Amino acid sequence: MSSVIKLEHNGVLDLHHFSPKDVPALVDEFIYSCDSSKITEGKIIHGKGIGTLRNIVHRKLKLNSMVKDFHNGDSTNGGWGVTVFSLKQNHSR
């Protein structure tokens, strides 16, 4: 019998261990989870690389109606290997 393990949600998603094909669904679920947990700001760590994961993340955030805005991190929070986002306070799903 398997049981569900509840992980603490801190508003950070690290994509280093995921395949690019899994990232779109992960980002959507992560944003929904942040919203459900009343986390209005967070970050997604995608790494620097050639930009594949960053492009996927930015495309998903741009299309998500819960997302207020997003941008690359700065020198204090991961640089362009991280995307920082904020969610709308009152939105319709």
User: Hey, is 47 helix, strand or coil?
Assistant: coil
Q: In whole angstroms, what separates CA 91 from the centre of its chain? A: 18
Domain ranges for the chain = 12-87
- Residue whose structure tokens are 């393990």: 5
pLDDT mean for each 10 residues of the chain (93 residues)? 62 93 95 94 94 95 97 88 92 53
User: In the prediction, which pLDDT does 62 show?
Assistant: 98
Contacts of 67 (CB under 8 A, 6+ apart): 31, 61, 85, 86, 87, 88
Q: Is 3.10.50.40 the CATH number for 12-87?
A: no
C-alpha 58/C-alpha 88 separation (Å) is 16
